[in-house]
Amino acid sequence: VRARGHFPSEQAAMKCLYLVTRSLVTRSLDPTGRGHTRWMMRWKPVLNAFAITFGDRWPGAEHY
């Protein structure tokens, strides 16, 4: 049996990062309902940082 740590796959790790980033935004939702827009604006820099750091292991990194 090969140990994989906390995440069984890369997709599981991405899901965790996605949920953590999203939870940061849901805490700052405003009554105007623009929270989703703010969420999308904050996810893009996260993807860019991962593409730079893990470009060789990041599928489609050139698209971010």
What range does the domain containing 17 cover?
Answer: 10-26+35-56
Could you tell me if residue 2 is inside a domain? no
Could you tell me if residue 4 is inside a domain? no
Query: Number of structural domains, the chain?
Result: 1
Question: Over the stretch 6-51, which tens digit does the pLDDT of each residue have?
Answer: 778 888 888 888 877 766 655 555 555 555 555 566 777 777 777 7
Q: What is the pLDDT of residue 18?
A: 81
Rg (CA), the chain: 14
pTM of structure: 0.39
DSSP the chain: ----TT-SSHHHHHHHHHHHHHHHHHTT--TTS-HHHHHHHHHHHHHHHHHHHTTTTSTTGGG-
Q: What is the pLDDT of residue 46?
A: 76
CA torsion sign for 9, 13, 16, 22 is negative
Could you tell me if residue 47 is inside a domain? yes
